[in-house]
Amino acid sequence: MTRVRFAPSPTGHIHIGNARTAFFNFLFAKKNSGSFVLRFDDTDLERSREEYAQGIETDLRWMGIDPDVIVRQSQRFALYDAAAQKLKEMGRLYPCYETADELDRRRKRQIARGVPPVYDRAALKLTDEERAALEAQGRKAHWRFKLEERTMHWNDLVRGESHIEAGSLSDPVLIREDGTYLYTLPSVVDDIDLGITHVIRGEDHVTNTAVQIQLFETLAGKAPIFGHHNLLTTASGEGLSKRSGALSIASLRQAGIEPLAIAALATLTGSSDAVHPVASLQELGGLFDLSHVSRGAARFDENELATLSARTLHAMAFGDVVSRLAQEGVSGAKAEAFWPAVRGNLETFSDVREWWRVVEQVIDPVIEDAEYCSAALALLPDEPYDAQTWSRWTAAIKERTGRKGKMLFHPLRLALTGKDSGPELAQLLPLIGRVKAAARLSGQSS
């Protein structure tokens, strides 16, 4: 069965760039009847925070991503220890004693000689006595994975046929001097243990792939299928940072951005499919195709997200929002007619509160021309009102006063709603009703 994972580190809030990877994995799993694993890469015990982990879960579920499995690396160290021991016994994980300064000087000398700054495996030449002497000096070993010097090929889900010459890489450090693990070994061990079949992630991980394929082959005999997508950047081309809070999902939620707008923008930006509103994640899943993802930059404008969010709202049916309306106090017999009347004028969903106030509560009318409003009141039809009441009423006012265009309509809008602009009054007038309309045309708060 297809199984994918999204693996954030809980050291900050996830942003829309992280959401891109999450949606790619989630939609791929759904499209292939698979499962989605949320794995917290929290081996950095100093910077990882429980509140960030909980926040990430909240953000994902708000966007419609409900993980099938949730695991934490901080609870899985026994697996990593066993894998490290296996690699040591195989001779693929070896101890090194160089300090950071020594390695830096060595790299500079290599560059000065025109030699690639690749680790020279000097530690493999140490005798037992030399290692013992270094340890007696107080040096602690860090551990490197010995790469096989061969070309690593894979068929990338986004980039197509790809390869990296492993011989051009330094043997990567998997374990630090203090015994803590770097990202690579725990990630591979977890992918093996959890049965991950496809690793879909940002293109910033491409250079890790050769190392990880060798680790997969060494520990499990087979690597998963990889896909590396382009990264979202700001409109000016800047990268996004989890720690800076830039465009975090939490801040977008607080700003009233619709989760489906985030899903559409995060998924479709930088692909051959134009970014447009979607009615559901199921619809988005039908559009999603990793082969459509561009190799070029995936830039987006935050203002475009706000516009897309509003367009998403404008297309929503009453059934999609009935519970949300109730939470805003919009309920009862008028609610179903109210939504299509006002949705086209919403920037964020919370704007319904103001239009519900106009319809159902007390406002202060703005009387621009008292004589004209009095004439309009005299022609105000009796109820019941329907969608044609407005046009019949304004036609009668036009005939009586000779007004037309803005001079005809604008004073009525100000009196009935207290606002310069807004939803079509043909839809609002039946909701406001004759009693309130008459009071407002008279200048009374109603």
What's residue 274's pLDDT?
Answer: 87
Q: What's the CA gap between 351 and 345, in Å, rounded?
A: 9
Residue with tokens 């891109």: 20
Specify the pTM.
Answer: 0.92
Cα–Cα dist 318/434, whole Å: 25
Instruction: Give CA–CA dist 415/437, Å, rounded.
Output: 8
Q: What is the pLDDT of residues 324-348, one digit of tens each?
A: 999 999 999 999 999 999 999 999 9
Say whether 156 sits in a helix, a strand or coil: strand
Q: Given this model, what pLDDT does residue 216 score? A: 98
Cα–Cα distance for residue pair 117/107, rounded to 1 Å: 5
Given a cut of 70, the residues of the chain with pLDDT beneath it are 241-246
Copy the structure tokens of residue 21: 């990877």
**Containing H/E element for 56?**
helix 50-62
Residue at token pair 């950071």: 100
370-441 sits in which CATH class? mainly alpha
Which CATH architecture does the domain made up of 249-314 adopt? Orthogonal Bundle (1.10)
Contact 305, 277 (CB under 8 A): no
Give the CATH architecture of domain 3-78+182-232.
Answer: 3-Layer(aba) Sandwich (3.40)
Continuous segment of H or E residues that includes residue 136: helix 128-136
> What whole-number distance in Å separates Cα of residue 285 and Cα of residue 269?
14
* Greatest Cα pair distance in the chain: 110
What is the per-residue pLDDT across 408-435, written as a single tens digit (0 to 9) for each?
999 999 999 999 999 999 999 999 999 9
- Whether residue 384 is preceded by a cis peptide bond, meaning omega within 30 degrees of 0, is yes
Residue 165 vs residues 154, 170, 240, 276: alpha-carbon distances, Å: 12, 11, 30, 40
